[in-house]
Structure 1
Amino acid sequence: MTDSKRFVIHFSLAITAYVIAVAVSSLTQVMLSEGIARTLCALLPIAPMIVVAITVIRQIRQLDELARTIHLEALALAFVGTAMITFSYGFLETAGFPRLSMFFVWPLLAALWGFGAWLGWRRYR
């Protein structure tokens, strides 16, 4: 089995576990009163997200130099882009815009990383 196929399988399993953990956490929290049990239940999705992170880091370590460079540049774009967008929106919140949940940050970062990787792969074709 190739490294990329193994990555897709491990990543898919980890994301599936994350989705299940989010569902279980959301459904269970409503039945619990405030306290340590509810707090721990809210943090349940973090465990599979750690597995997702380890899977991604392991995959990046196995890439060749060009692919690593592309992903490093993509992550730099994602970091700077996320910082600029979230800070800009923070200032807009002071002008009366609705507050956004922190749940918006990671999808924004992931989308910018994907866009940056796409740009990098196009540049080096």
Structure 2
Amino acid sequence: MPERPPSQVTTYLIAIAAALVTIVGAWEERTPHPLGLRILFALMQTAPIIYLLAIVVARIRQLDEFELRIHLNAAAMTLVALIVVTYAYGMLTPVAAPALSWTYIAPLVAGLWLASYTMAASRYQV
């Protein structure tokens, strides 16, 4: 039996709690604490991302074969685009581009996936 994702209300409540955890973690990470607590506060902010990824996986497991094919095409295009973008930016960094934080990768992947999914899905619309 396939795993059921949480209801929308549960998802929204958990998202709000996750946002609060992230805000508290970010705030406490910058206040003077022992190193162990600062590491804990920094890593605490990854919990919402782990939950988000679990929801995405649960939703994708519920898709039919056609929708899975569209998502597979989008994932492949996202991977290629991510490689091109990161490689190009890596080549620009020694010249003039500032070094970026790793935290920009996840939004970049989400944006690339959205664009790739839109392109992949548009092929099948009549």
Settle same-fold status: TM greater than 0.5. yes
Structure 2 residue runs without a partner (length 5+): none
Q: Residue 29 of structure 2 aligns with which residue?
A: 29
- Report the Cα distance in structure 2 between the residues aligned to 1:115 and 1:66, rounded to whole angstroms: 18
Cα deviations across residues 87-107 of structure 1 (Å, max 9, x unaligned)?
Answer: 110110011321111111111
User: Which residue does 1:84 correspond to in 2?
Assistant: 84
Shift of 1:14: 4.4
Distance change (3 Å), C-alpha of 1:115 and 1:15: farther
* 1:103-125 CA distance string (max 9 Å, x none): 11111110111111111221111
Q: Is the 8 A contact 1:11 1:56 kept in 2?
A: no
How far is the alpha carbon of 1:30 from its aligned partner?
A: 2.2
> Could you tell me which residue of structure 2 aligns to residue 48 of structure 1?
48
**SS where residue 112 of structure 1 aligns?**
helix
Question: RMSD between aligned alpha carbons?
Answer: 2.1
Task: Choose between structure 1 and 2: higher helix proportion.
Answer: 1
| Contact in 1 for aligned 2:22/2:44 (Cα 8 Å) | yes
Give the AA of the match of 2:86. T
Greater shift, 31-40 or 69-78, is seen at 31-40
Gaps of 5+ in 1: none
Aligned-partner residue type, residue 17 of structure 1 = A
> With structure 1 as the length reference, what TM-score do the two structures score?
0.85
Identity level (%): 30
TM-score by length of 2: 0.84
Aligned length, in residue pairs: 122
- Separation of aligned partners in 1, 2:33 and 2:46: 21
